[in-house]
Structure 1
Amino acid sequence: MATSRRADAAPPVPKPVRSWLTVVTAYHLCDAAMTQQLAPLGIKLPEHEVLSHVLRDPGLSQQALAARCFTAKSHISALVVALEERGWLLRERDPADGRARRLRLTATGRTMAERSLAVQSAIVSAMAEAVSAEEMLLVERAMQRVNERLRALLDAG
């Protein structure tokens, strides 16, 4: 006799949706782990993101930073002001465009960026221990293709 699904049971989730939900869950767990591990340093995740981008690309504009962080310019502006007030970040006028501001880390900001990146590195290493190098490469390649497809969707409007 065939088993029937209960009337109140949720419909089956298609495989692509299950896979995507797994990616989303991993992202949120990573976010939570980063938040937890950064707290003792007195750094919030958005601050870490700003510090790490400016460490990797000194002189980055606020506009480019907002694009890299996938957030509104107003949010980045507030973060930049807060980090400047903490003495971690400097805003300098762009000599080519007086309206633009270029971002640089102070010595203290560099130290904090390096400490927060060490936290991130430890979390990424812990995640990577769960899979083989080959599996990690497959995930990377798959996510690159997904990113390309999503960028094409965005560009198509």
Structure 2
Amino acid sequence: MNENQAFPWDHPRFRSWIGVARACQLMQQAMTRAIADLGIKTPHLDILINLYRFDGISQQELARKLLVGRSNMSMLLPQLEKRGLIVRRPDTKDKRILRLSLTEAGRKLTMEAMAIQTGMIEKIMSQTPADRCLQVAEAMEDIIRILQTMETETDAGD
């Protein structure tokens, strides 16, 4: 980089990107503290919420939704199963596939954690007008689509 080039942090798009990344990181830290008394961490919460929404999802589908590898799932799921929060059952048609569901205790804990998460989001986002929140959501959805398209194109090129 020479002295005539602008620094990346001087560009509005870079500043916006860093702002989003920092907000995500700070929210992650705040959520970690907020749910600590429940005995779970944010990766556990991501799993529990997805099982709440998509009962019977396969381990592979869950890993894909959470953008994590199967090795991460292999470490986290036994912890939740051991605590009696989830159950893994063979698929009725293909015994190689394991289907995941919340237990009653898992459902209860997930609802408690979601209430904490929703409360935090409401507290933070209520200070921003709804139309601006929607603008941010739409911009992030655009970015997600672009990144997914880039990933698909990269996969097709391999």
Q: Structure 1 length normalisation: TM-score?
A: 0.90
Encode CA deviations 1:60-115: one digit per residue, 9 max, x unaligned.
10001101111111111221111111111100000111100000111111111111
Query: Which secondary structure state, in structure 1, belongs to the residue aligned with residue 68 of structure 2?
Result: coil
The letter of the residue matching 2:98 is R
Corresponding residue for 2:124?
127
Q: What is the alpha-carbon distance in structure 2 between the residues aligned to residue 12 and residue 49 of structure 1?
A: 32
1:108 is matched with which residue: 105, 118, 124?
Answer: 105
Gaps of 5+ in 2: none
Query: Which secondary structure state, in structure 1, belongs to the residue aligned with residue 40 of structure 2?
Result: coil
Query: Which secondary structure state, in structure 1, belongs to the residue aligned with residue 95 of structure 2?
Result: strand
The letter of the residue matching 2:126 is E
Question: How many residue pairs end up in the alignment?
Answer: 149
1:22-61 correspondence to structure 2 within 5 Å = 22-61=19-58
Asked whether 1:140 is paired with 2:142, we answer: no
The letter of the residue matching 2:68 is T
Q: Is the 8 A contact 2:51 2:100 kept in 1?
A: yes
Larger Rg: 1
Give structure 1 regions of 4+ aligned residues with deviation exceeding 4 angstroms: none
Give the fraction of aligned pairs with identical amino acids, expressed as a percent. 34
